[in-house]
């Protein structure tokens, strides 16, 4: 199962869980399966209006930073892959 790692700032929908193991075949499918377990998480990561990763969110696959476009979400994953969500914190 692929592992999705969730930052603390996005853990309200997960009720404090910091990760979820899912059997998705693509990055999008993994987020869809996490959404089934923890409703409300997907919209924090993927903008429903554009289908892209939100502007202030970064996603890595096995430590490699991914682009913020719909094609990235179609990328295949294997059971040993780790998808990490990173919330960018803006300040001024």
- As beta bridge partners, residue 57 has 87
Question: How is domain 2-87 classified at the architecture level of CATH?
Answer: Roll (3.10)
Cβ proximity of 5 and 82 under 8 Å: yes
Q: What is the mean pLDDT of residues 35-41?
A: 96
**Which pLDDT value is given to residue 88?**
79
Give the tens place of pLDDT for each residue, 50-84. 889 998 999 999 999 998 877 899 999 999 999 99
Q: Alpha-carbon distance 73 to 53, whole Å?
A: 8
Q: Which pLDDT band holds residue 91 (cuts at 50, 70, 90)? A: low
> In this model, does residue 92 exceed pLDDT 60?
no
Beta-bridge mates of residue 61: 64, 83
Whether the model pTM is above 0.85: yes
Mean confidence (pLDDT) of the chain: 93
The domain spans of the chain are 2-87
Higher pLDDT, 69 or 31: 31
Quick one: pLDDT at residue 89?
Answer: 73
CA distance 16 to 6: 9
Beta bridge partners of 20: 4
């Amino acid at each position: 199962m692929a592992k999705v790692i969730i930052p603390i700032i996005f853990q309200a929908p997960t009720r404090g869980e910091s990760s979820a193991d899912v059997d998705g075949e693509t990055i999008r499918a993994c987020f869809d399966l996490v959404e089934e377990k923890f409703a409300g998480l997907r919209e924090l990561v993927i903008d429903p209006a554009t289908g892209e990763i939100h502007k202030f969110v970064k996603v890595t696959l096995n430590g490699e930073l991914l682009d913020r476009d719909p094609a990235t979400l179609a990328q295949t994953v294997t059971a040993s892959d780790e998808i990490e969500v990173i919330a960018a914190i803006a300040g001024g």
